[in-house]
Amino acid sequence: MRSIASRLRRLENITTPERRSRVLVRYEGPGSENLPEPNEEDYYDATTVITVRFVAAKDGRPVESSV
């Protein structure tokens, strides 16, 4: 029992390294078809996910489609 307690004490004293910040950028919308898509592992490792959404534009302003 004593050896287990000493092993636990040693493990409690060991600190784990901090997780590194990792930003994931994903793209959506027309024009993003040829850009790389993140996989599941990328999402798991990411601390922040930024989504860039492409929209259709005319004269520098977004165009809303009338369907």
Q: What percent of the chain has pLDDT over 90?
A: 31
User: What's the token pair of residue 60?
Assistant: 């520098």
Which residues have C-beta within 8 Å of that of residue 32, sequence separation ≥ 6?
52, 54
Instruction: Please identify which residue in the block is written with the tokens 């302003």.
Output: 61
* pLDDT digit string, tens, across residues 45-67: 899 999 999 888 888 887 876 55
Distance CA(62)–CA(22), nearest Å, equals 31
Global pTM reads 0.57
3-state secondary structure of 17: coil
DSSP codes joined into one string, 43-67 = HHH-SEEEEEE---EETTEE-----
Which one has a higher pLDDT value, 20 or 27?
27
